[in-house]
Chain A
Amino acid sequence: MSITQDFNTSLKAVFGQIFGDDVTSPKIRRLSGGASQETWHVSREDKRAILRRAPNGVSRARSSAAIGLAKEAQLIEAAREAGIPVPEVLHVLTPPDGLGDGFLMSHISGETIARPILRDEQFASAREALAQQCGHALAGIHCIPTTTLPDLPESGGLQQLSQYEAIYRGFGVSRPVFELAIAFLQDTAPTAAPLVLVHGDFRLGNLMVNESGLAAILDWELAHLGDPREDLAWICVNSWRFGQSQNRVGGFGQIEDFLAAYHEAGGAAFTPKDIDWWEMLGSLKWGIMCMIMYEAFRSGADPSVERAAIGRRVSETEMDLLNLLEAHNA
């Protein structure tokens, strides 16, 4: 049998375990894939599931911070028990399944791509509701008792700053804006808040949105124990406003509504100013991530035009960092 036939047969068997065997094979459709994880849509009539697995089944963490797919499934289950909108984990893959590392989860309808969510009439009411819904959901995540969770890496703001600084230094290039942001963040770091479960990549692109708003929080791969302001600020980073800079929260919402909803649902009381340091750290991190992706091109590991192009997006984050520094000085 070919690899594709093996894959289809194995997936049919797992699908049968979940929904009951049937002579008809499920339809299998690739949704996305590439450097990080593969996503497949598997369906037979009205029964639908999503397979999220490592590329070709082989785990190769996209970042040293990634927690692995089995742990990701555990976190999604913990979030579901806490009433957070997430898919239902249907099956965690084991070696006898023959599909590698990954899990199957319930299919949730909606849109993940930022531009239609931010622009299409269809999502007009969703946009009105999203800031509040995101505030509530993040409070829920941050309130999950960390003692009930699997072992997770701990990573606070200053730790991340020095981690990313080391990566930047490793490239051996002179980027004065990054130097200025690093020095400013080192000199103005806020006191760390008590550690909570942090999603780690909470922004449009990883949120399933339907016409009423937030339907599910996806991609828990970068979850860790950290400072709650990291999640609150990451979605505010200008790169994740997708052109709608005037709406600080994800390009759709106002920070006051977002933080009020967060506090109302049991999260700590933060002011918009409390988010500033973390937003600047977020822009710096994204800028250095763009450098990492360009490095994959430069080194020959990934010769795609897309990896080359991303090197010319580092200046976007430099502009954002300067705008933030200027606003701070004003």
Chain B
Amino acid sequence: MHNQPSVAELLQAVKSFIDETATPNLSGHAAFHARVASNVLGTALRDLADRPANDSAERGRLVALLTSLPEADLDSLNEILCQKIRNRELSSESPGLLNHLKQTTMAQLRVDQPHYSGLRTAENAGD
């Protein structure tokens, strides 16, 4: 398949259209939804760029934390982690757990809502 323009380029083109052309001509609810739509495209662009590295880092930490099968996929690893927390095999005091979840959630927030105040709090708290 062709990749010119790439998915990221296509999304960026739509985002620019919303920000520079559509939104200035809208008001009220429609303007609000246009801003939401633009933010959504921002998230989509960051997700495209960051997901491979984020997923691979998350998976690496989970394999180490759960001393699990290196070939397990991310969803199964997270399901195992959830079970271990439910069974009280792991808690917020277990070495490495909070740090892993914090790394994962910070990476997720940098994609989802990079300006969220809680992300700054987490960054300032150190690890």
**Chain A residues within CB distance 8 Å of chain B:** 174-177, 179-180, 183-184, 187, 238, 241, 243-245, 304-306, 308-309, 312-313, 315-316, 318-320, 322-323, 325-329
Q: Chain B's nearest CB lies how many Å from the CB of A310?
A: 9
The answer to whether B101 and A312 touch across the interface, beta carbons within 8 angstroms, is: no
Q: Is B106 an interface residue (CB 8 A)?
A: yes
On chain B, the residues within 8 Å of A243 by CB distance are: 115, 117
The answer to whether B121 and A323 touch across the interface, beta carbons within 8 angstroms, is: yes
Candidates B32, B117, B122; contact of A241 at CB < 8 Å: B117
Given the interface contacts A183-B88, A238-B117, A306-B33, does A319 sit within 8 Å of B122 by beta carbon?
Answer: yes
Candidates B43, B82, B112, B122; contact of A176 at CB < 8 Å: B82
On chain B, the residues within 8 Å of A313 by CB distance are: 112-113
Q: Is B56 an interface residue (CB 8 A)?
A: no
Candidates A174, A177, A245, A320; contact of B101 at CB < 8 Å: A177
* CB-based nearest A residue for B127: A326
The answer to whether B120 and A245 touch across the interface, beta carbons within 8 angstroms, is: yes
> A67–B56 Cα gap in the complex (Å)?
47
> A36–B107 Cα gap in the complex (Å)?
33
Considering residues B105, B106, B122, which has the most beta carbons from chain A within 10 angstroms of its beta carbon? B105
> A315–B106 Cα gap in the complex (Å)?
9
The answer to whether A326 and B33 touch across the interface, beta carbons within 8 angstroms, is: no
The answer to whether A322 and B102 touch across the interface, beta carbons within 8 angstroms, is: yes
Considering residues B37, B101, B117, B120, which has the most beta carbons from chain A within 10 angstroms of its beta carbon? B117
Main secondary structure of the interface of A (DSSP, over half): helix
Task: Supply 29 A–B pairs (Cβ within 8 Å), ascending by A.
Answer: A174-B75, A174-B79, A174-B82, A177-B105, A183-B86, A184-B91, A238-B117, A243-B115, A244-B117, A245-B118, A245-B120, A304-B33, A305-B33, A305-B36, A305-B40, A308-B40, A312-B113, A315-B108, A315-B113, A316-B118, A318-B101, A319-B109, A319-B118, A319-B121, A322-B98, A323-B122, A325-B98, A326-B125, A327-B125
Name 13 extra pairs, CB < 8 A, besides A180-B92, A309-B39. A177-B101, A179-B81, A180-B101, A187-B88, A238-B121, A241-B117, A309-B36, A312-B113, A315-B108, A316-B109, A319-B109, A322-B122, A329-B98
> A323–B101 Cα gap in the complex (Å)?
11
Given the interface contacts A313-B112, A323-B118, does A176 sit within 8 Å of B98 by beta carbon?
Answer: no
Q: Mark B76-114, 1 if CB is under 8 A from A, else 0.
A: 001101100110100111000110011001101100110
Given the interface contacts A179-B85, A180-B101, does A319 sit within 8 Å of B119 by beta carbon?
Answer: yes
The answer to whether A322 and B105 touch across the interface, beta carbons within 8 angstroms, is: yes
**Chain B residues within CB distance 8 Å of chain A:** 32-33, 36-37, 39-40, 43, 75, 78-79, 81-82, 85-86, 88, 91-93, 97-98, 101-102, 105-106, 108-109, 112-113, 115-122, 125
The answer to whether B98 and A326 touch across the interface, beta carbons within 8 angstroms, is: yes
On chain B, the residues within 8 Å of A322 by CB distance are: 98, 101-102, 105, 122
List the 6 shortest-distance A-B pairs measured between CB atoms, nearest first. Answer: A319-B118, A179-B85, A312-B112, A174-B78, A245-B117, A315-B108
* CB-based nearest A residue for B118: A319
On chain B, the residues within 8 Å of A328 by CB distance are: 92
Q: Chain B's nearest CB lies how many Å from the CB of A112?
A: 16
Q: Chain B's nearest CB lies how many Å from the CB of A251?
A: 9
The answer to whether A245 and B113 touch across the interface, beta carbons within 8 angstroms, is: no
On chain A, the residues within 8 Å of B78 by CB distance are: 174, 176
> A313–B119 Cα gap in the complex (Å)?
12
The answer to whether B36 and A320 touch across the interface, beta carbons within 8 angstroms, is: no
